[in-house]
């Protein structure tokens, strides 16, 4: 199977969508937004499968968020949904690790989402080898299932999110877009192992370590 190695992913930006599953928005006491709620993670937060997610000393509540992510293969600017869909080159699992306490106190999400090691990704698989309309994401922690969500449960579809984002910013080849997390998010502790899997695509699995270990 032709694919990119996880360490070859070098996006100019990582664009994320908040509250894109209704049940997840509800579990955190939020409404689903009227339009996609976009935020960024820095490329410096990227992490390969097998490497340690580091719990930073600034946070007392770090949580997993399993997500379906896509890589962009062509430049998008003011793209239609069909153009956006055609520009998707690869699909991959992603863990949008979040310092939940900092997210709540800061009011904006840069610090909570942006720590080094807070964006584990799996090996990208060419979109032509998967069914984009039936993707599912499953999160397990220490072998116990915590999350399971399907694309049809998203408030905003993947092509819509890409089209919407492209009307704000130019999406460049290699950019990484992640599409929100289903309900079931929860805390991580040193010693845990968290696995995000897209069945039929692949998985990213990482140990969780304390601040002195990364």
Dump pLDDT digits (tens) for 138-148: 999 999 999 99
Could you tell me the two tokens for 157? Answer: 């579809």
Range(s) of the domain holding residue 53: 6-209
Q: Is 42 among the domain residues?
A: yes
Q: Is 149 among the domain residues?
A: yes
Query: Using one digit for the tens of pLDDT, what is the confidence trace for 173-205?
Result: 999 999 999 999 999 999 999 999 999 999 999
Q: Is 94 among the domain residues?
A: yes
Q: Count Cβ atoms below 10 Å from residue 213 Cβ, excluding itself.
A: 11
Count the domains in the chain: 1
Q: Is 144 helix (H, G, I), strand (E, B) or coil?
A: strand
Q: Is 129 among the domain residues?
A: yes
Burial environment of residue 119 by CB neighbours within 10 A (0 to 12, 13 to 18, 19 or more): buried
Q: How far is CA 196 from CA 24, 101, 206, in A?
A: 16, 22, 9
Q: Is 31 among the domain residues?
A: yes
Q: Is 11 among the domain residues?
A: yes
Q: Is 1 among the domain residues?
A: no
Residue 25 confidence (pLDDT) above 60:
no
Please give the Cα distance from 44 to 116 (Å, whole number).
Answer: 6
Radius of gyration of the chain (CA): 16
Q: 193 forms bridges with which residues in the sheet? A: 207
Determine the distance from the C-alpha atom of residue 134 to the mean position of all C-alpha atoms in its chain, rounded to a whole number: 17
Alpha helices in the chain (DSSP H): 22-27, 81-87, 100-106, 110-114, 158-166
Residue 23 confidence (pLDDT) above 90:
no
Average pLDDT over residues 133-161: 97
Q: Is 198 among the domain residues?
A: yes
Could you tell me the two tokens for 37? Answer: 């709620």
78: CATH: 3.90.850.10
Query: Using one digit for the tens of pLDDT, what is the confidence trace for 95-124?
Result: 999 999 999 999 899 999 999 999 999 999
Query: Using one digit for the tens of pLDDT, what is the confidence trace for 32-41?
Result: 789 999 999 9
- Looking at per-residue pLDDT, the higher value among 27 and 170 belongs to 170
């Amino acid at each position: 199977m032709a694919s990119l190695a996880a360490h070859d992913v070098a996006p100019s930006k990582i664009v994320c969508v908040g509250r894109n599953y209704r049940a997840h928005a509800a579990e955190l006491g939020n409404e689903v937004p009227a339009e996609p709620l976009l935020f960024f993670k820095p490329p410096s937060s990227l992490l390969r499968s097998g490497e340690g997610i580091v719990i930073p000393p600034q946070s007392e509540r770090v949580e997993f968020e399993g997500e379906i992510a896509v890589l962009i293969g062509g430049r998008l600017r003011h793209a239609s949904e069909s153009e956006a869909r055609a520009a998707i080159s690869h699909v991959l699992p992603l863990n949008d690790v979040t310092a939940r306490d900092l997210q709540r106190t800061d009011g904006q999400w840069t610090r909570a989402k942006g720590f080094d090691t807070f964006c584990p990704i799996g090996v990208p698989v060419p979109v032509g080898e998967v069914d984009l309309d039936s993707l599912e994401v499953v999160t397990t922690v220490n072998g116990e299932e915590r999350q399971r969500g399907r694309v049809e449960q998203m408030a905003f579809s993947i092509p819509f999110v890409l089209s919407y984002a492209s009307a704000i910013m130019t999406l460049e080849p290699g950019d990484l877009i992640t599409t929100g997390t289903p309900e079931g998010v929860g805390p991580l502790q040193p010693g845990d192992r968290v696995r995000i899997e897209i069945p039929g695509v692949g998985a990213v699995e990482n140990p969780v370590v304390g601040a002195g270990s990364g």
